[in-house]
Amino acid sequence: MIDQKLCDALNKQINAEMFSSYLYLSMAAWFETKSLSGFANWMRVQSEEEMFHAMKMFDYVNERGGRVILDTIEKPEAEWDSPLAVIEAVLKHEELVTRLINDLVDVSMEIRDHAGTYFLQWYVEEQVEEEANVGTLLERMRMIADDSAGMFALDMEMAKRTFTPPSSE
CATH number at residue 80: 1.20.1260.10
Q: How many whole angstroms separate alpha carbon 104 and alpha carbon 128?
A: 16
Q: How many whole angstroms separate alpha carbon 160 and alpha carbon 39?
A: 10
Q: What is the pLDDT of residue 166?
A: 82
16 inside domain: yes
Q: How many whole angstroms separate alpha carbon 99 and alpha carbon 127?
A: 10
Q: Domain containing 92: what range?
A: 4-158
Q: How far is CA 123 from the centre of its chain?
A: 10
Q: Is 100 helix (H, G, I), strand (E, B) or coil?
A: helix
Predicted TM-score (pTM) of the model is: 0.95
88 inside domain: yes
Q: What is the pLDDT of residue 97?
A: 98
14 inside domain: yes
168 inside domain: no
Q: How far is CA 77 from CA 24, 95, 138, 141, 160, in A?
A: 10, 17, 19, 21, 26
Q: What is the pLDDT of residue 20?
A: 98
- Using alpha carbons, select from 165, 144, 166, 160 the residue that is nearest to residue 41: 160
What does the CA dihedral 147, 152, 156, 161 come to, rounded to 10 degrees? Answer: 50
Task: Report whether 14 contacts 54 (CB < 8 A).
Answer: yes
54 inside domain: yes
30 inside domain: yes
163 inside domain: no
Number of structural domains, the chain?
1
Task: Give the other-Cβ count within 10 Å of 50's Cβ.
Answer: 23
Task: Report whether 74 contacts 19 (CB < 8 A).
Answer: yes
Q: What is the pLDDT of residue 143?
A: 96
Q: What is the pLDDT of residue 165?
A: 86
Q: What is the mean pLDDT of each run of 10 residues along the chain (169 residues)?
A: 97 98 98 98 98 98 98 98 98 98 98 98 97 97 94 96 81
